Homo-oligomer: A and B are copies of this chain.
Amino acid sequence: MSKATAGLDETQARGLTEAWEDFGPPSARRLLIAAVDAFAARGYHGTSTRDIADRAGLSPAGVYVHFASKEDLFYRITLIGHQQTLRNALLAVDSAGPDAGPAERLRAVVEAQTTWQARHHTTARVVEYDLPSLSPEHYEEVGALRRRIAAVVHGILGEGARRGEFDVPDVDGTTLALLSMVTDVARWYPSNSRQSPEELGKLYGDLALRMAAPHGGAGGAFGTAGTGTGEGDDDSTDGGAAEH
């Protein structure tokens, strides 16, 4: 067990290392892993470059051999993290097969993204919750990746609605709600759940379909009170996929 992962149990250490295994020289990689772990625990501003260097087994100055600044280190983490997440989403859609309809594709994406957030919850926490600490330029660059991820879900909901296979009166709003549900896993997992990432993924995939599927509707199964669903208003569907 390296210094960078001291204090973590073996399974955890292996996973964190594997998530970043393609990254550069050993010392740089150790710094990156140490930084992910520290940022996840205390946030960007709550973590000092000394913390990171210590965890990686280097002196404070060692950081600057491999990264131009603390922000640069953070930026690389967020960029790679988002690229991996986007790839995960696109692979999930592909895995549903060329003939898959919106329902299968929605389930596939939500399940895969949820599983990802749970399995890589440490990385995901850094990547999801500290973005305003990036420089404006880097923030915008990462934002573009986030819009592409949102567009995957938005596109599936929109197509399902157009085809009449979904009942989604507000595609923009439902996209946001769905992404929120998935994103937020990184904030709490695994403290409130004993489910595996895969089990959680299945549950969330199921919930996503319920949110999009045709259902009882206004005055349906819940007749006793004003629980109608379609409020009559709605949105124009289109537009850009929401940023998330």
Residues on A facing B (Cβ under 8 Å): 5, 7-8, 11-16, 18-19, 37, 40-46, 88, 91-92, 95-96, 100-101, 103-104, 107-108, 111-112, 115-116, 119-124, 129-130, 132-133, 165, 170, 172-174, 176-177, 180-181, 183-185, 187-193, 195, 197-204, 206-207, 209-211, 213-216, 218, 221-231, 233-244
Given contact pairs A122-B237, A180-B184, enumerate 13 new A-B contacts (beta carbons under 8 Å): A12-B236, A41-B240, A42-B132, A42-B239, A112-B229, A116-B229, A129-B129, A180-B183, A180-B185, A180-B188, A188-B244, A190-B237, A206-B224
- Interface of A, secondary structure class, is helix
Chain B nearest Cβ from A102, distance in angstroms: 9
Q: With A and B bound together, what is the CA distance between A171 and B185 in angstroms?
A: 16
Please tell me if the beta carbons of B201 and A238 are within 8 angstroms of each other in the complex: no
Please tell me if the beta carbons of A215 and B224 are within 8 angstroms of each other in the complex: no
Please tell me if the beta carbons of B211 and A5 are within 8 angstroms of each other in the complex: no
State how many copies of this chain the complex holds: 2
Please tell me if the beta carbons of B229 and A222 are within 8 angstroms of each other in the complex: no
Q: With A and B bound together, what is the CA distance between A173 and B191 in angstroms?
A: 12
Please tell me if the beta carbons of A241 and B8 are within 8 angstroms of each other in the complex: no
Which of A103, A227, A228 has the most B CB atoms < 10 Å from its CB? A227
Q: For A9, give the chain B residue with the smallest CB separation.
A: B236
Chain B nearest Cβ from A185, distance in angstroms: 7
What B residues does A95 contact at CB under 8 A? 227-229
Please tell me if the beta carbons of B235 and A121 are within 8 angstroms of each other in the complex: yes
Which of A18, A211, A229 has the most B CB atoms < 10 Å from its CB? A229
Q: With A and B bound together, what is the CA distance between A199 and B231 in angstroms?
A: 10
Please tell me if the beta carbons of A12 and B234 are within 8 angstroms of each other in the complex: yes
What B residues does A190 contact at CB under 8 A? 237, 241
